[in-house]
Structure 1
Amino acid sequence: MSGPFSDITDTVFADKSVLREEHQPNEILERDEEIDEYRHALRDVLFGNDPENVMIYGKAGLGKTAVTMYMMDALLAEVETREAADDLSVHTVNCNGKSLFIVVRTLVNELLPADASPFPRRGLGTGDAFETLYDQLDRIGGTHLFVFDEIDHIDDANTLLYELPRARSNGHIEKARLGLIGISNNYTFRKSLSPKVKDTLMEVEIAFSPYNATELQTILQDRAEDAFVEGGYDQSAIRAAAAIAAQDVGNARQSIDLLRVGAEVAEKNGDSKVTDTHVSRARSLVQRGRLRNRISDQTKHAQYVLEAVARLERDGQTPARSKQIMTTYEGVARSWGTDPLTTLKSIQGHLSELHMLGFFSQHERNEGRSGGHYFEYELDLDAAIVLETRESLELGEDPTAKPLE
C-alpha cells in the first residue's frame, strides 16, 4: 500500500543546508577589501600586543557576521603558529533582546571552570558579574576577543563599551589582554555613545556596502554548485535571484533565499530544474517572509511605535508628527500590557532608527516662526502586514508560518 510520500523519489537539492542562513562558507567571496581591513586591524594579536577594537557596520545580509567568523577562525589558526602570540580566546554573544547583565553573565559562564557553579540569575548585580568576569579573564590569561553581534540592541551599550576596553588601565585585570568587536546594522550607533566611551574605544571602523548583481551572481554560483544536483538549476535562476536582490538592497541573504525558495517552488510544481520563472514566483514569498522577520527583530517598544504608525496609516492619519504617534503608541503599549516609555525623545529615537531601517518615510517640514521645524512620518510598508505580524507575535504565534493572502 502506497503512502502520501511514496511518489516523492527525486529532489533538485544535493545539500540544501548550503542555502540556509546558518551556513558558514569555507571561503568568503566578494569581500576582499573588508577582509584586508580586518586583517590590518587584528595584526597586533600575532605579536602579543593589545588588540584593536573594531566596529563593523552595514545593513543585514551583507556578510558582516560571516566575515567576522571567518576572520576569527583564521586568526585562531594563525596564532597557533606564532611564538610571539599569546593564547587566543574568542567569545561571541548575540546581543539582540539581551540586557547588559545577561550578556556579562553569559561571558562569565563561558569562562568559569567546568566544575564551577553557574553565575546566578538573581541575587547579584551587573557590577558583580563584571568583577567575576575580570577574575576569570586573569585566571585564564592570554588574549581575549569579544564579538558582540547586534551590539546596538543591548540596553546599556555605553557601560559595556566603557568597561571592557578600560579593564586593564583601570586595574581590573593584569594578565589578560582584551579586544572588542561590535557588529551593528545601525550606521548611526556611534552617535548614541557617550563622549567618554568614544574616547575609550578608539576603534577601527569597517563598513560593508551592498553587493551589486555581478557580485551576487558569483556568490550564488558558488552556493549552487554544492546545493543542487547536476542539472538541477539553470543559469537564468542565478541571474534572476542576483538581479532581484541587487535592485532591492544588495542583500546576499535575500538572493540565496530567492534561489532556495525558487527551487522549492520548482519541486512543488514537479519540475526537475529551477529556472528564473521559479525564482520570480518565489520573490513575493521571500519578501513577505523577510518583512515579517524584520519586524520581529525589533525591540518591543520599537515594535509598538511601528504598530502605532501602522494604525495611523490604516486610519488615514499619516504623515503624522511624533507627538501624535506617541499618543497612539501609548495606547498600543497599554493594550499589550506594557508600561509605555514616558519621554517624547525616546519615541523620536525609535522613529529615527525605524526610518533608517527603511520602515518609515520621513518628511521634513519648516513652517517658519509660526509653525517651526519638525518631521512627519508615514509607513513604507503595508499596514495590514504590520498589524497582522504584531498580533501574531503578541499571541506567541510564528509570524512566518502562514502565508499572507
Structure 2
Amino acid sequence: MSGPFADITETVFAEKSVLSESYQPEEILERDEEIDAFSHALQDVLFGREPENLFLYGKAGLGKTAVTKYMMEELKSEVKTRDEADELHVHEINCNGKTLFMVVRRLTNNLLPPEASSFPKRGLGTGDAFEELYQQLDRLGGTHLIVFDEIDHLDDVNTLLYELPRARSNDQISDSLVGIIGISNNYTFRQTLSSKVKDTLMETEISFSPYDAGELRTILHDRADRAFVDGGCDDSAIAKAAALSAQDMGNARQALDLLRVGAEEAERQDDNIVVDTHIEEARTLVQRGRLRNKIRDQTEHAQYILETIAKLENRGEVPARSKTIQDGYEQVAEAYGTTPLTTLKSIQDHLSDLHMLGFLLRHERNQGLSGGQYYEYELDLDPMIVLETREDIIQSSE
C-alpha cells in the first residue's frame, strides 16, 4: 500500500525559499535612489568619522529592512579596503514587544566577551545597563552602527534616542563612535519624539514609497527566474501578482506572497504551470493571512475590542455605539482575567485608531437637538477572521 506522499513526484519550485520573507537578495532592485541616499548618509564611516544618524520610513514590505541589511554588508566589505576607516561593528535589534531595558541589555550582552557573565535580567536598572553598554563599546573601540528595526514599537524611545547620540559628547564613551539607524513603519514617528530628542538626533531621513506595477514586475521576474523550474510560471501570472499588489499596497512582500501561494495552489490542483487563475485564488488566502497578522500586531485591549465587535456582529447588533461596545469589551476583558480600561474615552480612542487602520467602518449619526451627534461602528472584515485569530492567540499562549 502506497503512502500519502507517494504520488507527489513533481514540483513547480526550483528554489522556493527565494519567495520567502526571510530571503535576502544579493542585489536590491528598484531602490536605487534610497541606496544612494543611504550611501551618502554613511560615507563618514569610510573616513573614520562619527556616522550620521539615519531613519528609514515606509510601510511594511517596501524594502527598508532588506536595503539596510544589504547596505550593512556592502559597508563592512568596503571598510576593509579603507585605511582611514575604523573597524566596523553592526548591531541589529528588533524593538517590537521590547522594553528599553530589554533593548539596552541585549545590546550589552551582544558586546560582552564570550567568557563574561551576561548582564542580569533583574536587580539592576536601565541606567546600569547603559553604563555597561558604554564600557563595552569603548572596550571594543571602532565604529558601531546600531540598527533598531520597528523602533516606533519601543517604549520610552525618547530616552534611547537622547542617550546614545549624546554618549560621546557627554564623555560616556571616548574610544568608539556610534551611529543609529532607525527603521519605522510609521511616517509620523518623528512627530512623537520630544523636542530635545529631535535636536539631538540631527538625522538623515529616507522615505520608502510604494512600488508601482512595473517595479514589482521587475522584482518578481528576478525572483521567479530562480524560484521556479523552467516553464513553471507564466509571465501573465507574474504581471497579475504585480498588478494586484500595486493596486492594493504597492508592497513587494504581498506580491511575493501572491506568487508563492499561487504556485502552491497550482501544485494542489496538480497543475505544472502557475497561471493567472492561481494568482486570483491566492489573493483571498493572502489577504486572510495578512489580516490575521495585523490583528496579532494590535495591543491586547485593541484585540479585545475587535473580538467584542465581532461577537456583536455575529448577533446582528451592529453598527454599535461606543457605549455598547464598552459594555461588551468589559465582559471580554474580564473573561480573560484582565482589568478592563475604565473610561469611555479610552475605548473611543481605540475605536478611532482601529478605524484609521482599516479594521472598522464608522458611521456618523446626527439625531439633531434631541440626540446629538455620535458614531457607530462595525467591522470592515469577516468577523470569523477576528474570532479565529483570537482563538489561535489564546491557544498559543497556553
**What secondary structure, in the 3-state scheme, does the structure 1 residue paired with 2:206 have?**
strand
Cα pair distance change 1:374/1:52, threshold 3 Å: farther
**What secondary structure, in the 3-state scheme, does the structure 2 residue paired with 1:306 have?**
helix
Cα pair distance change 1:363/1:205, threshold 3 Å: farther
Q: 1:367 deviation in Å?
A: 9.9
* Amino acid aligned to 2:319: T
Q: 1:198 deviation in Å?
A: 1.6
Is the CA contact (8 Å cut-off) linking 1:97 and 1:299 kept in structure 2? no
**What secondary structure, in the 3-state scheme, does the structure 2 residue paired with 1:128 have?**
helix
Distance 1:328 1:377 in 2: 13
Q: 1:360 deviation in Å?
A: 3.5
Q: 1:159 deviation in Å?
A: 1.4
Question: CA offsets per residue over residues 298-325 of structure 1, 9 Å max, x none?
Answer: 332332343344445555343645x665
Aligned to 2:33: 33
The correspondence of residues 263-282 of structure 1 with structure 2, limited to 5 A, is 263-282=263-282
Is the CA contact (8 Å cut-off) linking 1:366 and 1:372 kept in structure 2? yes
| Equivalent pairs, count | 397
Is the CA contact (8 Å cut-off) linking 1:15 and 1:226 kept in structure 2? yes
Aligned to 1:113: 113
Question: CA offsets per residue over residues 51-96 of structure 1, 9 Å max, x none?
Answer: 1111111111111111111111111111111112111111111111
Is the CA contact (8 Å cut-off) linking 2:88 and 2:142 kept in structure 1? yes
Aligned to 1:316: 317
Q: Please, what TM-score do these two structures have when normalized by structure 1?
A: 0.89
Matched, 1:146 2:151: no
Deviates more, 1:309-318 or 1:380-389: 309-318
* Amino acid aligned to 2:41: A
For structure 1, the residue ranges without an aligned partner over 5 or more in a row are 399-405
Is the CA contact (8 Å cut-off) linking 1:153 and 1:299 kept in structure 2? no
Aligned to 2:240: 240
Aligned to 2:391: 391
How many percent identity over aligned positions? 69
Distance 1:293 1:146 in 2: 27
Distance 1:344 1:194 in 2: 28
**What secondary structure, in the 3-state scheme, does the structure 2 residue paired with 1:182 have?**
strand
Aligned to 1:22: 22
Distance 1:290 1:224 in 2: 22
Question: CA offsets per residue over residues 101-145 of structure 1, 9 Å max, x none?
Answer: 111111111000011111111222211111111110111111111
Q: 1:384 deviation in Å?
A: 2.7
Deviates more, 1:330-339 or 1:287-296: 330-339
Cα pair distance change 1:110/1:269, threshold 3 Å: same
Q: 1:36 deviation in Å?
A: 1.4
Distance 1:79 1:333 in 2: 53
Two-structure CA RMSD over aligned residues (Å): 2.6
Aligned to 2:249: 249
Aligned to 1:227: 227
* Amino acid aligned to 1:121: K
**What secondary structure, in the 3-state scheme, does the structure 1 residue paired with 2:390 have?**
helix
**What secondary structure, in the 3-state scheme, does the structure 1 residue paired with 2:37 have?**
helix
Aligned to 1:336: 336
Matched, 1:216 2:216: yes
Q: Please, what TM-score do these two structures have when normalized by structure 2?
A: 0.91
For structure 2, the residue ranges without an aligned partner over 5 or more in a row are none
**What secondary structure, in the 3-state scheme, does the structure 2 residue paired with 1:219 have?**
helix
Aligned to 2:46: 46
- Following TM superposition, the consecutive aligned residue runs of length 4 or more in structure 1 with deviations greater than 6 angstroms are 363-376
Is the CA contact (8 Å cut-off) linking 1:263 and 1:278 kept in structure 2? yes
Cα pair distance change 1:163/1:345, threshold 3 Å: farther
**What secondary structure, in the 3-state scheme, does the structure 1 residue paired with 2:166 have?**
coil
Aligned to 1:201: 201
Matched, 1:188 2:188: yes
Cα pair distance change 1:374/1:120, threshold 3 Å: farther
Question: CA offsets per residue over residues 17-66 of structure 1, 9 Å max, x none?
Answer: 00110000001111111111211111111121111111111111111111
Is the CA contact (8 Å cut-off) linking 2:318 and 2:377 kept in structure 1? no
Question: CA offsets per residue over residues 228-257 of structure 1, 9 Å max, x none?
Answer: 011111111101111111111111111111
* Amino acid aligned to 2:146: F
Aligned to 1:133: 133
Is the CA contact (8 Å cut-off) linking 1:305 and 1:329 kept in structure 2? yes
Q: 1:12 deviation in Å?
A: 0.8
Question: CA offsets per residue over residues 169-196 of structure 1, 9 Å max, x none?
Answer: 2221111111111111112222222222
Distance 1:93 1:346 in 2: 31
Distance 2:59 2:194 in 1: 23
Distance 2:324 2:47 in 1: 57
Cα pair distance change 1:31/1:292, threshold 3 Å: same
